[in-house]
Structure 1
């Protein structure tokens, strides 16, 4: 069986020859070895050894039926990802609901489900039992072995996979240890914000060794607020974010997490006499209430200021917007984009993860596949 150690995800770029070849083959259709040599910058013998090891692990296969004759010499046999030999479980924990899914080695969703249970309203042990039951339900009837489980969560995560998250009411919860004991497979635990940034990294081609790596900044505003970016080494969290400025919300000097997370924002709004149980409810109220709309626009403006400060630090070519602040409030999103343009005077592509489901799937997939994509040969049973 795989190593039973549990750990916090690092979301590094693939660095070993096997991981680099795996990444290219996973994202492509059919590739020949010479194309892998060109794409990775590795030598022919190194690529040959890496491909052989991946084939022996059952991760890659040859397609001799697709071989095209190229004259004398050894034919170039195309390579492709083999049918998934294993499954990988991923979990994205939310305050009110959590997402559980099974993925194959290409990252395709095999089965998934939303668990409509509140992590904030249950004690951690009871909640984790619900997660374990959810994973067991999804794996029932599947013949492929489970070789790892990943968890994305709000809050702070130690290298041992211990979580402290104020919005969940968790203080030092060893979720990695519980899942590792239950399933006897490695458990990867990471904060949701770098996990979403990692999902962008995992879906992007590796840059050629001689080309600069474009930087992608992911900015998240939901149950928590934060930013992470990816470069040639992997994913890095930006923190602390810039403090907020004066506004109708009366947030001058407050930490962005306290002022602009969904709960923090709704608390600021309630101080002004407008009460809503969710962001979606406030957006609905704002259709007929100009003051509520002004507060939403204030939040969008402050988020843009915070994002601009983060962008000035890392100079990204792409900014990915993620979380309900952007997906549930289209007018606020427009305010954000306009304010960002005023404060960050550089060419930048804006991209939106449009739904909550896509956000949680991206985070769950990233933690589920992190070990496979960085150490593919260590998962071989």
Structure 2
């Protein structure tokens, strides 16, 4: 293993700004393109795009396809460009209180291999989580001969540096450790065009955290609220729906009986209204134009969506687009992909140079 010292780092989480990154980001979403299309898509000058393309070709990320040139009239033929088969891999993990996802991604952001992951809780501890991650990464990389460029991990619990340091020690590559809510906001930011209205992510897991994304990047912080799983569990215990024990997360809190009793339905509707009022307040306070509600706190009770909507809709501007992400697997994959590709979408040529320094290319 290389002896190159590589430190764990926090993610950048903003739209690509370097010309190479902006061109590569556009090419991730298209099969073939030409330099003129990159000029139009990125707003960069023709010489700047030409230099960026040359750098990306040199880094092995894209190549020319002269075999696909079509005659369009007089003048120099326009040679199509496409991304190369991935020259290296990116590892990404998203870990919440109810479990998460660990995946291997190519340079286009496509998932190559994926597995689920145990919850990241106070009882498992950061050290145990790191060892589970290490074992999982080794399993996913079995019989894959392509080098690993970097590892990204998004967690709901603040990391002291041990997690990133342990992964760096094991794999000898750069490690990004970021906040899960911020990672989800970054995923949303990278799939939207420039906007003057912030994007608000409200994530409810152990507690409620929010992240605001705009053209300047992503900021995230927790919100002081009683909407977490412990308060819901206490209300269910007091009402006789749960035994007197402390659950760790939202999963398993609600009984599986159908239909729900009027008493339980009333308790859950009260909670949904409280949640809706909080969403409406945070939307107004941040001036968001897009709001994404995610995490098990929003999906634990699908029957409460109507009450949540009744609390939100009259109290926010009708132009605000609000949606819930009900599929935990889709959410976890988006987070893992974003934190895994953070370095690539910041400075793709530097990723290539670092791999050369490690004698991986």
TM-score by length of 1: 0.84
Sort the Cα spacing of 1:120 and 1:364 in 2 relative to 1 into closer, same or farther, 3 A.
same
Q: Which residue of 1 aligns with 2:358?
A: none
Please state how far the C-alpha of 1:192 moved relative to its aligned partner. Answer: 0.8
Counterparts of 1:19-168 in structure 2, within 5 Å, are 19-116=21-118, 119-156=121-158, 163=159
SS of equivalent to 2:183: helix
Q: Which residue of 2 aligns with 1:269?
A: 236
Distance in 2 between residues matched to 1:149 and 1:88, nearest whole Å: 6
Please state how far the C-alpha of 1:30 moved relative to its aligned partner. Answer: 1.8
Q: Which residue of 2 aligns with 1:169?
A: none
Sort the Cα spacing of 1:123 and 1:153 in 2 relative to 1 into closer, same or farther, 3 A.
closer
SS of equivalent to 1:72: coil
Please state how far the C-alpha of 1:67 moved relative to its aligned partner. Answer: 2.2
Q: Which residue of 2 aligns with 1:235?
A: 218
Q: Does structure 1 retain, via aligned residues, the 8 Å contact 2:98–2:251?
A: no
Q: Does structure 2 retain, via aligned residues, the 8 Å contact 1:222–1:323?
A: yes
Residue 320 (structure 2) pairs with residue 332 (structure 1):
no
Q: Does structure 2 retain, via aligned residues, the 8 Å contact 1:217–1:228?
A: yes
**Structure 2 unaligned regions, length at least 5:** 356-361
Distance in 1 between residues matched to 2:88 and 2:61, nearest whole Å: 9
Q: Which residue of 2 aligns with 1:246?
A: none
Q: Which residue of 1 aligns with 2:209?
A: 226
Distance in 1 between residues matched to 2:171 and 2:309, nearest whole Å: 44
Sort the Cα spacing of 1:49 and 1:136 in 2 relative to 1 into closer, same or farther, 3 A.
same
Distance in 1 between residues matched to 2:297 and 2:306, nearest whole Å: 11
Q: Does structure 2 retain, via aligned residues, the 8 Å contact 1:148–1:368?
A: yes
- What RMSD over aligned residues (CA atoms) do the two structures have, in Å? 2.2
Please state how far the C-alpha of 1:301 moved relative to its aligned partner. Answer: 1.6
Please state how far the C-alpha of 1:281 moved relative to its aligned partner. Answer: 4.2
Please state how far the C-alpha of 1:155 moved relative to its aligned partner. Answer: 2.5
Q: Which residue of 2 aligns with 1:295?
A: 267
Residue 154 (structure 2) pairs with residue 182 (structure 1):
no
Q: Which residue of 2 aligns with 1:250?
A: none
Q: Which residue of 1 aligns with 2:19?
A: 17
Which deviates the most, 296-305 or 13-22?
296-305
Which deviates the most, 365-374 or 172-181?
172-181
Distance in 2 between residues matched to 1:44 and 1:88, nearest whole Å: 30
Q: 1:372 aligns with which of 330, 339, 344?
A: 344
Q: Which residue of 1 aligns with 2:199?
A: 216
Distance in 2 between residues matched to 1:46 and 1:340, nearest whole Å: 46
Q: Which residue of 2 aligns with 1:252?
A: none
Please state how far the C-alpha of 1:118 moved relative to its aligned partner. Answer: 6.0
Please state how far the C-alpha of 1:83 moved relative to its aligned partner. Answer: 1.1
Q: Does structure 2 retain, via aligned residues, the 8 Å contact 1:287–1:293?
A: no
Sort the Cα spacing of 1:375 and 1:271 in 2 relative to 1 into closer, same or farther, 3 A.
farther
Q: Does structure 1 retain, via aligned residues, the 8 Å contact 2:127–2:162?
A: no
Distance in 1 between residues matched to 2:101 and 2:26, nearest whole Å: 28
Task: Give the aligned length.
Answer: 346
SS of equivalent to 1:10: coil
Sort the Cα spacing of 1:263 and 1:75 in 2 relative to 1 into closer, same or farther, 3 A.
farther
Which deviates the most, 300-309 or 281-290?
281-290
Distance in 1 between residues matched to 2:118 and 2:63, nearest whole Å: 40
Which deviates the most, 320-329 or 113-122?
113-122
Counterparts of 1:309-328 in structure 2, within 5 Å, are 309-328=281-300
Sort the Cα spacing of 1:69 and 1:3 in 2 relative to 1 into closer, same or farther, 3 A.
farther
TM-score by length of 2: 0.88
Q: Which residue of 1 aligns with 2:359?
A: none
Q: Does structure 1 retain, via aligned residues, the 8 Å contact 2:94–2:332?
A: yes
Which stretches of structure 1, 4 residues or longer, exceed 4 Å deviation after superposition? 276-281
SS of equivalent to 2:86: coil
